[in-house]
Structure 1
Amino acid sequence: MSIEHPTSESDRRAALLAVADQLRPELHRYGARLMGSVIDGEDVVQDTLVRALVALQDLEEAPPLRPWLFRIAHNRALDLLRSRAVRMAEPIDAVPDTGDPANPDPAEGLMRQQAVKTAVSRFVELPILQRSVVILKDVLDESLIEIAALLDISVDAVKGDLARGRARLREINAQAGPLPDAQPASAAVARYVALFNQRNWDGLRALLADDVKLVQSSHPLRAGAADVGLFFTIYSKNDALWLAPAWLEGREVIAVFEDRADPKPSYVMWLEWRDGRISFIRDYRYVRYVTNDAELLLSPDTIPSADDVAH
């Protein structure tokens, strides 16, 4: 996938957005495992698209889009990891050029299944380059040559890091304990969920801080109580939606069911609070792939009754 030189900037931008839209789920699977978080993985995707659009303005001709976007996502994830002062056991530019044994591994398919089923959060226990190679090969099914080009290392180095990463991942999975039990919902989230399920839109609007912000991927930022209040007007048109308190990666979130009888939620949203009012809403309605690989736990039923909400 590439953008031809003769096209205008607007055409190249449209082509990039079209390709990026197709690649978003894959970019997220990569970024989420690099970061160890499906939420942080979507931040990587958003930043990748913004940076790609900016860079496109300075290019007469864009490179092949898929590897270009993955390289931007890779570098952005590294930036975020470094900004958190995460200690990386193996720098990306200091990898030994070690190859696998000559004979192919007969358990290749099982190794790929293991990587796909491994919890997103466990990947951060791998050194960064092993992490990248295992994700690209075993989760996204990239070829060794494509991985080598993306990471700017030799194919033999890819093979070596793949073997070491797979071995380490087996150890991590063998030592992993069970997921923690779901926690009860906080009073604030329980109240929000109850108001929503009762379709009390005025009650929800009353919870908004004056400077509240709403972020929905691929949509313009909404800011201010009046503008964000329209968010509930849109939701009020769907009577089937049902919310439930939940936990994701240690963060309290809200699971959104498009039908109360659905076996699992369609997507999630999460809120930030300040002085008892909502200061920030992140809604994943338009990027549902975020929760495809998520370890989402529904909270015990602590939604207050109608009488509790009224008071």
Structure 2
Amino acid sequence: MSVLTEVPVIPESFDSKDAFLADAQRYRRELLAHCYRMTGSLHDAEDLVQDTYLRAWKSYDNFEGRSSVRTWLYRIATNTCLTSLDGRKRRPLPTGLGAPASDPTSDIAEHHEITWLEPLPDAPREDPSDPSVIAESRESVRLAFVAALQHLSARQRAVLVLREVLQWKAAEVGEAIGASTAAVNSLLQRARAQLDAVQPTQDDDIAAPDSPEAQDRLARYVEAFETYDMDKLVDMFTADAIFEMPPFDGWYQGPEDIVTLSKTHCPAEGPGDMRFLTTTANGQPAAALYMLNRESGRHEEFQLHVLAVRADGVSHVVAFHADGLFEKFGLPVAL
């Protein structure tokens, strides 16, 4: 996991703190991605970025220009995240709870007391030279990677992200988090070992969301649900495919069990009950599901399906409960 961080020269002096803050807004999106990797929460990340800018504004008079403004903001954001994470529980997906795959015919139960991992809307990519596009590479915000980060301590997360995603030197990381270079190297070694234990295989073969392969799979996935042809879904998934849908704590593996789950627990009754809008999330293809409300006659926000697509099919789907999520993705709440 590595991301290049080459950026244009940044002016280090401003007429006022307000001018600095206005100029620093160019880094908002990449700082959001950074805080999201650290916390696994879009809502928390937005608050932490806001707090980062507030802290930077208050302490700008003490900025000595020994690093770029961008690096300085990352240091503040990292420590803001570390403070926020102190004492907090990790944000899992159902697969991260340690339970075996569930029976698709059994009852399902919501667990809102668990602070679940959340998805991240992808940034617009009009300008590929924008450093936020580089720093927020698809690999570094994929759900599998962010979910794996949740198994690390907060300081391990910080070290791993700063070293391997942003490619900071060990001494720079140590200065940022108040640790020696030796301590940083030790934290990184333990973080890598822990990551290998919870994520033994890398998703190097995951298709980019704008690839023809991913677009074709996504279109066929949507069509199968909209036409209520659940049996067609069997051919969509890989043999080891996983389907999970927080806040329900169960997870399901294999095409047959996934289709049985859909037939058993999906509230749709037939063709036309479900409609989708396609989008992207976490550098992956995604589809926003709208379920028919028979009383209002409208299709209303229901779930956001984030897909991992490989050459042999859809290998993983996380269907997040909408719960105000669509607005964050710039999607309508009803059709």
TM-score range, shorter chain: 0.3 to 0.5
- Calculate the TM-score normalised by the size of structure 2: 0.43
Decide which structure has greater helix share. 1
Using CA pairs under 8 Å that are at least 6 residues apart, name the structure with larger relative contact order, 1 or 2. 2
- Calculate the TM-score normalised by the size of structure 1: 0.46
